[in-house]
Amino acid sequence: IISSVHGVLALDSRGNPTVKVIAKTKAGVGVGIAPSGASKSSKEAIEKRDGGRGWGGMGVNQALSNVNTIVAPRLIGLDSRKQSLIDGVLIEIDGTPNKSRLGGNVTTATSIAVAKAAAASSGVELYEYLGGPGAKVLPTPLMNVINGGVHAGNNLAFQEFIIIPAGAPTFTEAMRMAVEVYKSLKSYLSDKYGKTSTNVGDEGGYAPPMNEVREPLEALRAAIKAAGYELGSDFFLGIDAASSEFYDPEKKAYRVDGKLYDPGSLLDLYVQLVDEFSIAYLEDPFHEEDLQHFSEITAKLGSRVLIVGDDLYATNVKYLQEGIKARATNGALVKVNQVGTLTETLDYIRVARNAGIRPVISHRSGDTEDPFIADLAVAVGAGVIKTGAPARSERLAKYNRLLEIEDSLGPMATYAGREPFITRA
Ligand code: PGA
Ligand code: ZN
């Protein structure tokens, strides 16, 4: 039974205020912290922000007051293990389609805090509490080791250039291989672009002064080789284009490498890059309203590439169902704070699964020390997690938690490896 719910100020990895919620029962405590995106979808839950001068308008005093004066009195006395009841109360108090009254930051942190308090009260690990005894698949990490787009101060149109250590036998070995490549990438960049090129962006990847989207892919290919691994078997590459950010709605075209691409020529570019660089993962290749070209690229590449909707779906069943109807993707990104509660997130994962769509559990570019998504990925057996480079502690919090889970599962643990990826092999 929940005995207290308290909101307290925390800061995210960009130094912006965010909401931390501490939920207690007699037997356990749970802490949830809301992350925050930069390349947000227009379909996401709205964060409650104070505006005005302090914190550059990003203050969360109103949000914290919502936790302490509106949410807490309604949740105290309820059974922490009844997650859908509790999330239902949050949804009912909020009463809007996008959590704009309470704030998605309020509902996200509260929902996560309650789940953790329930797990602690039950005396089991969070991934077991959420996933049951069958939860033992460690996800293959999608590691964003070169940052572009709005996550970095360079001219790369695509936001994320990703290495995927799918050929590793275990999660721990996958981390070792990825870290070796991350380090060999640092030498490659430093030699070719100078030492300022190894400063890191929002998700811990390097942010080199590159101008064309082929350059980071060439760098990743070289770094994988230099570390002694083979692209196409040990590693695959991935891209999150986050293309809503470089779409020009007036020209109905995309700005890439200083040129304008209509959707058809952008699709051709993706096909070339997929073939040339063993790309097995492609997220948001087209802008968030363009189901039609998502469907086209999935028809063309879906048998060999995971084509994933992030801004397209915003972790919302309503948009996912439109995508399912249009056969728009074969993967769906999952970010709890895009929809605002754990219950709605789990529903979304279930709907995706039933349609044969792979859920991909994800961090945000503004994230925190909360490792919640590591447990979530194992709990639902997602098989894939996207949580940045092996750098910056808000990213490592998730990887370190997964290392711990693999250790605690011992010989029961399995690593998803290549299974989530449809490869040509
Ligand atoms: P965001 O980016 O957290 O800034 O929205 C992450 C992503 O697009 O996957
Ligand atoms: Zn994305």
Per residue in 58-82, pLDDT (tens digit) is: 999 999 999 999 999 999 999 999 9
User: How far from chain centre, in Å, is Cα 253?
Assistant: 26
For the residues 117-136, what does the mean pLDDT come to?
A: 97
To test ligand 1's pocket by mutation, which of 143, 239, 335 has the most ligand atoms within 8 angstroms of CB? 335
CB of 335 sitting under 6 A from ligand 1: no
> Strand locations in 126-218, DSSP E?
137-138, 140-147, 160-164
d(CA 154, ligand 1 centre) in Å: 17
CB of 37 sitting under 6 A from ligand 1: yes
Q: Write down the pLDDT at residue 422.
A: 75
Q: For the chain, give the number of residues.
A: 425
Whether 196 has a pLDDT exceeding 90, the answer reads yes
**Ligand 1 atom having least distance to the Cα of 367:** 3
CA atoms within 13 A on the CB side of 189: 27
CB of 336 sitting under 6 A from ligand 1: no
CB of 388 sitting under 6 A from ligand 1: no
CB of 242 sitting under 6 A from ligand 1: yes
Give dist(CA 276, CA 289) in Å, integer: 28
Q: Write down the pLDDT at residue 74.
A: 98
Complex ipTM above 0.90? yes
Q: What angle do CA 389, 394, 400 make, to 5 degrees?
A: 75
d(CA 230, ligand 1 centre) in Å: 28
Residue nearest to ligand 1 atom 1, measured at CA = 37
Annotated ligand binding at 365? The verdict is yes
- Residues contacting 376, CB < 8 A, separation 6+: 127, 130, 334, 336, 345, 361, 382
Residue written as token pair 């590159």: 210
* Pair 373, 362: CB distance under 8 Å: yes
- Please report which ligand is nearest the Cα atom of 152: 1
Residue written as token pair 């074969």: 330
* Pair 393, 369: CB distance under 8 Å: yes
For the residues 370-398, what does the mean pLDDT come to?
A: 98
CB of 363 sitting under 6 A from ligand 1: no
d(CA 243, ligand 1 centre) in Å: 11
Give dist(CA 369, CA 16) in Å, integer: 14
Q: Write down the pLDDT at residue 425.
A: 42
* Average pLDDT score over the chain: 97
- Encoding tokens for residue 389? 């480079």
- Encoding tokens for residue 196? 């300022």
Pairing relationship of beta strands 253-256 and 259-261 according to DSSP bridges = antiparallel
CB of 43 sitting under 6 A from ligand 1: no
CB of 49 sitting under 6 A from ligand 1: no
Annotated ligand binding at 292? The verdict is no
Give dist(CA 237, CA 178) in Å, integer: 12
Question: Strand order in 29-33's β-sheet?
Answer: 2-11, 17-25, 29-33
Q: Could you give the residue numbers annotated as active site?
A: 203, 335
**Ligand 1 atom having least distance to the Cα of 159:** 8
Burial class of 353 by CB neighbour count within 10 A (0 to 12, 13 to 18, 19+): middle
d(CA 19, ligand 1 centre) in Å: 19
The string of pLDDT tens digits covering residues 266-314 is: 999 999 999 999 999 999 999 999 999 999 999 999 999 999 999 999 9
**Ligand 1 atom having least distance to the Cα of 362:** 9
To test ligand 1's pocket by mutation, which of 13, 18, 39 has the most ligand atoms within 8 angstroms of CB? 39
- Please report which ligand is nearest the Cα atom of 44: 1
Give dist(CA 119, CA 372) in Å, integer: 12
**55 — alpha (psi -120 to 50), left (phi > 0) or beta?**
left
Pairing relationship of beta strands 306-309 and 331-334 according to DSSP bridges = parallel
CA atoms within 13 A on the CB side of 211: 3
- Residues contacting 167, CB < 8 A, separation 6+: 229, 230, 233, 234, 235, 417, 418
Three-state SS annotation for 183-213: HHHHHHHHHHHCHHHHCECCCCCECCCCCCC
Give dist(CA 340, CA 315) in Å, integer: 9
- Residues contacting 168, CB < 8 A, separation 6+: 174, 176, 177, 234, 415, 417
Helices (H), 194-332: 214-226, 263-277, 291-301, 317-325
**Residue 17, φ and ψ in degrees, nearest 5:** -60, 145
Give dist(CA 231, CA 167) in Å, integer: 10
d(CA 68, ligand 2 centre) in Å: 32
- Please tell me the least confidently modeled range out of 126-135, 347-356, 414-423: 414-423
Q: Write down the pLDDT at residue 198.
A: 97
- Residues contacting 368, CB < 8 A, separation 6+: 10, 12, 13, 18, 33, 35, 394, 397
Q: Write down the pLDDT at residue 423.
A: 57
**Ligand 1 atom having least distance to the Cα of 38:** 4
* Pair 52, 41: CB distance under 8 Å: no
